Amino acid sequence: MNEFFVKARGGEVIDLVHDERFQTLCMQEIRRSRKACYLLNKTDPTSARYRRRLEALFQSAIDKTTFLEPPVQIDYGCQMRIGKGVFIGNGFSASAFGGIDIEDGAQVGLGCTIATVNHFLNDLTIVQGKGVRIGKGAWIGANVTIVPGVTIGEGAVIGAGSVVTHDVPPRAVAVGNPARVVKTRPQEEL
């Protein structure tokens, strides 16, 4: 991975107008990811070509047990890491500048959005990446929005339509806008 994208994952502050790295590397990656999503979304999801296009989007092999249901829209495919046995439903959109890690066995419902970049309120041309991590075996309900910097713990469940603005502990069930923990799943459920 390019050093610039490693720094974006690490929270480096970026000036969108004056930082030449953004103007070249980021814009190239956005264009590459948009084209890869366009091609992926036009491809039969049961075909070998679809699998190859998934790998092209993420610039790596995607385990055969992991599946993204089209359509998807991801702007920085190089900033996503997806584990084994992951399912992501259709209508998924991600601004992955700050990095997104989805661990083994996680399930992401249809229509979910993940954002990993914040603009500074006093100057919208200044941004900072803040990664999102979805833990092993977590279940994200339909139409959930996850904001920058959030970690969703292993085995956690996020109710449909929730907006996740803070970390969610392992095995917690969180719902609402903003999402709040309403209970904890027993260990034996996992």
The catalytic residue positions are 119
Q: What digits encode the pLDDT tens for the residues 52-70?
A: 999 999 988 788 899 999 9
Cα gap 190→177, rounded to integer Å? 26
Averaged pLDDT score across all residues of the chain: 93
Calculate Rg over the CA atoms of the chain: 16
| CATH, range 3-189 | 2.160.10.10
Q: What is the model's pTM?
A: 0.93
Cα gap 166→103, rounded to integer Å? 18
Given a cut of 90, whether residue 23 has pLDDT beyond it is no
Span 16-33, average pLDDT: 86
Angle between helices 48-58 and 27-41 (to 10 degrees): 170
Q: Taking a C-beta distance cutoff of 8 angstroms, is the pair 39, 33 a contact? A: no
Residue with tokens 């992926």: 40
Q: What digits encode the pLDDT tens for the residues 162-190?
A: 999 999 999 999 999 999 999 998 887 76
Band of residue 149 on the pLDDT scale cut at 50, 70, 90? very high
CA distances from 104 to 41, 66, 83, 101 (A): 24, 9, 4, 10
pLDDT value, residue 1: 56
Look at residue 15 and give its three-state secondary structure: strand
Which DSSP category does 189 fall into? G
